[in-house]
C-alpha cells in the first residue's frame, strides 16, 4: 500500500515549469492576475468588518467538535533536497525538526518550522513528533530520490495554466531589511517590494520556483 501511494504521489508531478514574466507597473508582476484571472490597471481592496464575516456565503462558525484542530503543515515536492533545505534554513530561518527516509520507496521527508530561538524542541523521537503535530505552520518538503539528477525543472509551481497552488507566505518584522538581505544573497524575485502598486509586499522564489510571499507583521513607516 505504501509503495503504491508513493508511486502515485511521484506520478502526479508536472515536469514543466512556466517561464516567469517580468514585473510591470500595470500587472503587478502578474500577482493580481494569478488571484483574479485578470490584470487590472488599478487595484482596489475592500475590507470587510469582522462582524460581517459571519455573513459570507459558505462560511459558518467552527463546530465545537473541531476544537483542538490545528492547521499543522503544508507539503511541497522538491527536486533537490539539499538546495531546498539550504534555502529554507539559511535564507528564511526555518529550523529542521524532523527527517524521515524511506529508502525502499525512494523518497525522503523533511519537516521545518519558523520558531523562536529559545523554543525547546524535544530530543526523543516519539515525543518530538507528537509535539510537532500540535504546532501550526510546519513545512514538509518531499524529495523523490533521483529527481535531483534530472535536467531542468521537475515540478509545476501552480502559477501558470492550469493554475492551482499559489504560494506560501512569510511575515517579517522589517520587510525592507529582509528584502535587502535577500538582495545580498542573490535570491530570485517574482515581485520586488518597489514593483507595481502593491509596495507593501514582495514575492521571492525558492529553488523549485515556488513563490514565497513576504509581508510585514509590524506597521510600515
Active-site residue numbers? 213
CA distance 51 to 157: 35
Give the phi and the psi of residue 146 in degrees, each rounded to 5: 105, -20
Distance, CA of 118 to CA of 125 (rounded, Å): 19
Any known ligand binding at 140?
A: yes
Cα–Cα distance, 24 to 30 (Å, whole number): 8
Q: Under a CB-based contact definition with an 8 Å cutoff, are residues 205 and 189 in contact? A: yes
Cα separation, 88 vs 144, whole angstroms: 18
What is the CA angle 52-57-61, rounded to 5?
65
Taking the C-alpha atoms of residue 112 and residue 93, their distance in angstroms, rounded to an integer, is 10
Instruction: For residue 213, say whether it is annotated as part of any ligand binding site.
Output: yes
Rounded to 10 degrees, the C-alpha dihedral 119/120/124/127 comes to -70
- Radius of gyration of the chain from Cα atoms? 19
Ligand-binding site membership of 156 (annotated) = no
Residue numbering of the annotated binding site: 140, 167, 213
Residue numbering of the annotated binding site for Zn(2+): 140, 167, 213
Amino acid at each position: 500500500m505504501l509503495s503504491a501511494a508513493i508511486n502515485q504521489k511521484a506520478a502526479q508531478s508536472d515536469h514543466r515549469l512556466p517561464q516567469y514574466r517580468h514585473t510591470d507597473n500595470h500587472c503587478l508582476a502578474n500577482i493580481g492576475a494569478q488571484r483574479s484571472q485578470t490584470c487590472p490597471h488599478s487595484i482596489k481592496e475592500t475590507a470587510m468588518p469582522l462582524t460581517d464575516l459571519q455573513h459570507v456565503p459558505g462560511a459558518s462558525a467552527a463546530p465545537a467538535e473541531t476544537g483542538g484542530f490545528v492547521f499543522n503543515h503544508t507539503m511541497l515536492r522538491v527536486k533537490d533536497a539539499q538546495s531546498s533545505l539550504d534555502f529554507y534554513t539559511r535564507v528564511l530561518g526555518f529550523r529542521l525538526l524532523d527527517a524521515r527516509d524511506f529508502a525502499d520507496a525512494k523518497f525522503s521527508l523533511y519537516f521545518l518550522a519558523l520558531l523562536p530561538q529559545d523554543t525547546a524542541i524535544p530530543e526523543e523521537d516519539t515525543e518530538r513528533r507528537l509535539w510537532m503535530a500540535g504546532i501550526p505552520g510546519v513545512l514538509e518538503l518531499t524529495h523523490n530520490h533521483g529527481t535531483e539528477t534530472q535536467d531542468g525543472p521537475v515540478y509545476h509551481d501552480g502559477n501558470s495554466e492550469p493554475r492551482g497552488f499559489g504560494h506560501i507566505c512569510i511575515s517579517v518584522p522589517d520587510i525592507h531589511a529582509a528584502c535587502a538581505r535577500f538582495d545580498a544573497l542573490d535570491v530570485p524575485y517574482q515581485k520586488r517590494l518597489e514593483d507595481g502598486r502593491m509596495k507593501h509586499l514582495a514575492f521571492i522564489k525558492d529553488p523549485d520556483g515556488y513563490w514565497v510571499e513576504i509581508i510585514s507583521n509590524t506597521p510600515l513607516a
